[in-house]
Structure 1
Amino acid sequence: MTVIIVFILQLCISLTFQDSLDINSVPVHIDEDFYWRDYRGSIPKDALVGGSKLNRPTYIGQVVHSNSLIPGPIVQEDKGMYFYFEGDAYFVTENVKIFCTKHPEKFNWTKIHNGEVRNGLDVNRFVIGGSNNMYIGRIRYHDGDLVGRFSLDSSSYSTLISFEGSVDDMLVEGNTFEILYYIDDGRKRQFVSFSLKKTFNSFLIVANSLITLWFSKFLQ
């Protein structure tokens, strides 16, 4: 009888604190760490460098075309953005957005080989830059890094559809490229949760012993 009562008490307490002390439930808050500003021919100070052309930095742009949001490179010297859509290459100078962040250290370029997502990469950390889950990527092109887009294979989420991008009215494709990856993994929150969980588990052990002792004497 004593064992059953102790087990029920311990189970109730454990279930109460399970969600708040689970070290594996660290949320990903990508949307809180970047935003899109209007691009009007000048580069904001908080714009994230996306690539390069002729040894000069390029940036990550976004435009609405045919009711779709499409990412592509902003080339400051050209005062506009290049993108590719359904077989055609475009260059626009109006209604363009530019990717900005106050925390550039939280974004990293991670290489993909032959279109395969290697073990350890979390698709929830891929940065969406357009409609229909168009993610932001870049590829090596003419001694520079060309910003463009890629999508996931919806049937398996393990293989990437090849990269697509455009610059100077040219379509650029490939299966080996880099993806923009969010690397803020909430280690501080995870450490705090882990410490709390260890403390709570120690408390349960002591409480279990005390309750068992008390009920043993009470039921004698």
Structure 2
Amino acid sequence: MLQSTLSLCVIFPALIISHVSTLQENYYWREYTGYVPPDAIAGGKDINGDDIYIGQAYIRGEGLMVVQIYPGTREIQAAIKGVKKVDKYTKILCGPLQNFSWLTVTSSNLHLVLLNKHAVIGGHEDGQGQINIGRISYEGETKIGKVNSFVVGDASFRFADNNDREPVVKSYEILLYYNNDNNTLIQN
């Protein structure tokens, strides 16, 4: 009797956890140490045609910023009040690549276009709100950066350019996540 009760105590919570996890998105952030895991999400190509990856970095007093990761490079640039360079507290986006898609939007139509869609949350700006993941083509390569989605009607895209500046862009692509089980977008 005791053994069957113990079995139920172990199995039942495992079933609940398993069921709950199927309701969540299947993407996650791993610590980035210079090594790119096989399930990392490539966000585009650099000027040489090599993959670049989507990351996030913690900037003290500013928040958790979306960053661009070049494989093998530890120092990363984050676009926040100019450009900040970081080499720790960095993560890389991972998950099933086939569940992600890019959608072209503008800073003024973002919130309308995203109705009933799941834009991937890339971090937050302290005192402002959540930011999403965006990209553009710039000077022959893809640039990954943050979408200030907390500003309704003017959700601009910002990134760290090659000259340590933080340009503001009004037309860009935003990263979406699809629930591949039924081929629909996860809704917020």
Sort the TM-score into its range (normalised by shorter chain): 0.7 to 0.9
Q: For residue 25 of structure 2, what is the aligned residue in structure 1?
A: 32
Q: For residue 12 of structure 1, what is the aligned residue in structure 2?
A: none
Percent same amino acid among aligned pairs?
26
- Partner AA of 1:133 in structure 2: Q
Does residue 44 (structure 1) correspond to residue 37 (structure 2)? The answer is yes
Question: Which of 159, 163, 166 does residue 157 from structure 2 map onto?
Answer: 163
Does residue 106 (structure 1) correspond to residue 99 (structure 2)? The answer is yes
| Greater share of strand | 2
Shift of 1:167: 3.7
1-structure distance, mates of 2:59, 2:69: 16
Please give the secondary structure, in 1, of the residue aligned with 2:114: coil
For the 8 Å contact 1:61–1:81, the answer to whether it is kept is no
1-structure distance, mates of 2:52, 2:40: 10
Could you list the runs of 5+ residues in structure 2 that have no partner in the other structure?
Answer: 1-21
- Normalised by the size of structure 2, how large is the TM-score? 0.72
Q: For residue 59 of structure 2, what is the aligned residue in structure 1?
A: 65
1-structure distance, mates of 2:108, 2:183: 33
For the 8 Å contact 1:30–1:182, the answer to whether it is kept is no
For the 8 Å contact 2:25–2:179, the answer to whether it is kept is no
Shift of 1:120: 5.4
For the 8 Å contact 1:41–1:80, the answer to whether it is kept is no
Shift of 1:118: 7.8
Q: For residue 204 of structure 1, what is the aligned residue in structure 2?
A: none
| Greater share of helix | 1
Q: Which runs of 4+ in 1 moved over 6 A?
A: none
Please give the secondary structure, in 2, of the residue aligned with 1:187: coil
Question: Which of 136, 139, 163 does residue 139 from structure 1 map onto?
Answer: 136
Shift of 1:152: 2.5
Instruction: Give 1 or 2 for the bigger CA radius of gyration.
Output: 1
5 Å-filtered alignment, 1:1-220, equals 31-54=24-47, 55-67=49-61, 68-76=63-71, 78-86=73-81, 88-101=82-95, 103-113=96-106, 115-117=108-110, 121-122=114-115, 125-131=118-124, 132-152=129-149, 157=152, 159-168=153-162, 169-184=164-179, 187=182
For the 8 Å contact 1:136–1:148, the answer to whether it is kept is yes
Output the aligned Cα RMSD.
2.6
Shift of 1:150: 0.9
- Structure 1 residues 116 and 185: alpha-carbon distance in aligned structure 2, compared to 1, 3 A threshold: farther
Aligned length: 156
Q: For residue 217 of structure 1, what is the aligned residue in structure 2?
A: none
Q: Could you report, residue by residue, the CA deviation over 1:49-77 in whole angstroms, capped at 9, with x for unpaired residues? A: 01222122111111111241111101125
For the 8 Å contact 2:80–2:166, the answer to whether it is kept is no
- Structure 1 residues 184 and 143: alpha-carbon distance in aligned structure 2, compared to 1, 3 A threshold: same
